[in-house]
Amino acid sequence: MFAGTAALLTLATQAHAQTVNSDPLIDKLEQKGILSSAEARELRAESMTDQTNLVDSIPASKWKIADSIKSMQLYGDFRLRYEYRGVDNVPGAALSTYYRERFRYALRFGVRGDLVDDWSYGIRLETSNSPRSPWVTLGNNTTSGSASPSDKNASGIYVGQAFLNWHPANWYEMSAGRMPMPLYTTPMVWSANINPEGAFEKFKLSIDDVDLFAGFAQFDYEDPNPATYFGSSDTFLLAWQVGATVKLPKNMSFKIAPVLYNYTGVSTSGSGLNQPFVGQGSPTDTNPGVPGGTAYGALTAAQAQQAYNEEGLNDLLVLEVPTEFDFKIPNTFLGDLQARVFGDFAYNFEGDVRASAAYNANPGAFPTHGAVDGQDKAYQVGFGIGSAGPVYGPTQGLVYGSTSKKNTWEARVFWQHIEQYALDVNLMDSDFFEGRANLQGVYSAFAYSFTDAIIGTVRYGYANPINNALGIGGNNLDIPGINPIRNYNIMQVDLTWRF
């Protein structure tokens, strides 16, 4: 209503101004002598009065926008999805095969824009309270004790983003709140759906064809409530990143941005973050074959959480190095194409210490050979290609629904390998592959934009364990209660309306 009224007022005012100055028809009649100068002036005056009455007849807008807001944009997307996930468990397990088919939807909508004095803002709402997914399952009835078609208990709206950004100079900016991912990273390390909370500072400098940047993050990972001692007991994830984008001849560029992560603070909320990560799965995970494992029922909840911990943040000092090489491919049939060779490498400097801590927390959950060292690396390598024009990146492009233009398309494929003690399993993408460690496999996707707003996307992934002597560390409710996982398959078919 506000935008339409403003546009109508603008057009009417423009028409009014044009009439005051001249009217092409009256001017032409005057030039041909059909109208005298006096008659022409009289007609122009009448026309001006009519236009003024038109403007005066339009009621004033009831929408009031604060003077501090310079611009406001409504944006978002609505997605429909068919999804299949299937896994095999170890031979002899109580549940040897598990698969799940779902019809799902996700809605995200928000406003963003500029404020006065070098500030900007963003607020976005979305379905699902999961930090790693906005998706809601159709028919997911949660009302206890009764059949309830189209149950709405799992269909809430939550704050996905709420942040302020200050950019006083072209070389510096900072953000605070729940923000879009400000680091240059990949879904191997960070799920594309996670919007970290805290503060971030970024510095930029351009020298000829080289764009340098540095970013520093202070993300509040968990705030126990209530705190158990005076002062903050928050757990913080700190990140330091430096990087460069080098523009090369013939529409080519190269980007690299190493980032170092570590954690500070001690969580005592009982979530398990302050306990050693084990990752082996418990006897209740439809897996009676845990070597030497004690029956879960014989343990208290606290003992079980410690013995089979899947969340611990201990011994994580991770270096990540995401890179990409972009180039254009001339094509007379399809038009110019944009291609990317991309990858990511991560190394946990304390991986062997993390492995020893896992073994010491529950020796009975491991095979007789003890702690498994050397499981401290993760890497991803892939190739993407698509129509020239859209912006592509680790989580940008048609595949991720960040852009759309009629008849454009994108395809990408990558191989991913994440060892058991290499990364924080609480941050990893929960689709590919299930937010779990000790898995390797292939991801592929193709997207096509039917209109300027509608995108169709197909994805497929397959993964297997890296080390069969270990469990598949990490938690994800999409495939609950199975550890270890064998022969993981996932397929998704999406239809996205982007606005």
The mean pLDDT of 276-287, rounded to a whole number, is 76
Structure tokens at 121: 């803002």
Interatomic CA distance for residues 451 and 84, integer angstroms = 27
Residue 226 — pLDDT band, cuts 50, 70, 90? low
pLDDT for res 231: 52
pLDDT for res 269: 57
Count how many Cα atoms sit within 13 Å of the Cα of residue 444 in the half-sphere of its side chain. 4
What residues contact residue 34 under an 8 Å CB cut-off, 6+ apart?
none
The mean pLDDT of 40-61, rounded to a whole number, is 75
- Is the predicted pLDDT of residue 35 greater than 80, yes or no? no
Q: Which of 9-13, 132-136, 345-349 has the lowest mean pLDDT?
A: 9-13
Residue 284 — pLDDT band, cuts 50, 70, 90? low
Residue 241 — pLDDT band, cuts 50, 70, 90? very high
Q: Which of 20-29, 306-315, 383-392, 464-473 has the lowest mean pLDDT?
A: 20-29
| Rounded percentage of the chain residues whose pLDDT exceeds 70 | 85
The mean pLDDT of 222-228, rounded to a whole number, is 67
Judged on CB neighbours under 10 Å (0-12, 13-18, 19+), 220 is: middle
Classify the C-alpha dihedral 433-261-391-339 as positive or negative: negative
- Is the predicted pLDDT of residue 253 greater than 70, yes or no? yes
Of residues 151 and 188, the one with the higher pLDDT is: 188
Residue 154 — pLDDT band, cuts 50, 70, 90? confident
- Is the predicted pLDDT of residue 17 greater than 60, yes or no? no
The mean pLDDT of 340-348, rounded to a whole number, is 98
For 417-445, the pLDDT digits (tens) are 999 999 999 999 988 888 999 999 999 99
Of residues 136 and 304, the one with the higher pLDDT is: 136
pLDDT for res 40: 78
pLDDT for res 485: 86
Q: What is the DSSP string of 285-343?
A: TT-TT-TTPPPGGGS-HHHHHHHT-S----S--EEEEEEEEEEEE--TTT--EEEEEEE
> Beta strand 197-207 with 210-222: parallel, antiparallel or unpaired?
antiparallel
pLDDT for res 395: 94
- Phi, psi (degrees; rounded to nearest 5) at 37: -60, -40
| Rounded percentage of the chain residues whose pLDDT exceeds 90 | 57
For 166-193, the pLDDT digits (tens) are 999 999 999 999 999 999 999 999 999 9
The mean pLDDT of 54-69, rounded to a whole number, is 80
pLDDT for res 153: 79
- Is the predicted pLDDT of residue 448 greater than 90, yes or no? yes
Q: Which helix (H) or strand (E) holds 465?
A: strand 454-465
- Is the predicted pLDDT of residue 145 greater than 80, yes or no? no
The mean pLDDT of 213-224, rounded to a whole number, is 93
Of residues 213 and 131, the one with the higher pLDDT is: 213
Q: What one-character DSSP code corresponds to residue 86?
A: E
Residue 223 — pLDDT band, cuts 50, 70, 90? confident
Of residues 460 and 286, the one with the higher pLDDT is: 460
Type of residue at 129:
N
- Is the predicted pLDDT of residue 410 greater than 70, yes or no? yes
- Name 418's bridge partners: 378, 439
For the chain, give the mean pLDDT.
Answer: 86
Of residues 181 and 151, the one with the higher pLDDT is: 181
- Is the predicted pLDDT of residue 388 greater than 70, yes or no? yes
Q: Return the SS3 of 434.
A: coil
| CATH number for region 79-498 | 2.40.160
pLDDT for res 489: 94
Q: Are 128 and 134 in contact (CB under 8 A)?
A: yes
Of 1-15, 273-287, 437-451, highest mean pLDDT: 437-451
- Is the predicted pLDDT of residue 114 greater than 70, yes or no? yes
pLDDT for res 36: 80
